[in-house]
Structure 1
């Protein structure tokens, strides 16, 4: 059964590029425009993997991760941050919030598929 992936980014072009990349390997992809929309979707649906941006309106990525980790269904779900933020301090905050991993934009499609395959099994 294909894995359900939620892609969260306020940039429509990034959402589209990530979606096309993931769908090329048979993943089922749903997108959200910001952390709040993603959180609402996760409360009513189930995703095997969440890929989120950090800097977004309404709710940023770290707040989304902390919120998802409070939900029993998402306590162990892989969550990777895909962002332009590359500082060690920001990565440490991501780990502290419960992020599984961190990728820096612009992303390499092959690397994204590699990371996705690794975290979703």
Structure 2
């Protein structure tokens, strides 16, 4: 499965990329909102795993923009966040986010969540 991992923390993106590649995913990494949009315009992904809070835009907006550009494609959209109150933002946008993980999370939690979608 092709997965786009997005976070403004480049160290976290690299680490998650290595972990997910080792687990068998085809991983593309993006360091922030705009880089993710650039990569999403030239590639198709089955999973979008994005941070919620980034300086250039939030993860929900990124998911919406990806889906607008790729209307015919089904994508699983997952949010990572350190802020539990993001559930309220997700609730305000029904049907946008398929799941979320609270940071810090265990690798097993991430892999278990991803397994639910393939």
For Structure 1 versus Structure 2, the TM-score category normalised by the shorter chain is 0.7 to 0.9
Shift of 1:75: 4.9
Contact 1:80 1:100 in 2 (8 A): yes
Q: 2:114 aligns with which of 96, 113, 116?
A: 116
Alignment match, 1:43: 41
TM norm structure 2: 0.88
Runs (5+) with no aligned partner, structure 2: none
The 1:115/1:73 distance shift into structure 2, 3 A limit, reads same
Q: Which has the higher helix share?
A: 1
The 1:6/1:47 distance shift into structure 2, 3 A limit, reads same
Contact 1:34 1:60 in 2 (8 A): no
Runs (5+) with no aligned partner, structure 1: none
- Give the number of equivalent residue pairs: 117
TM norm structure 1: 0.86
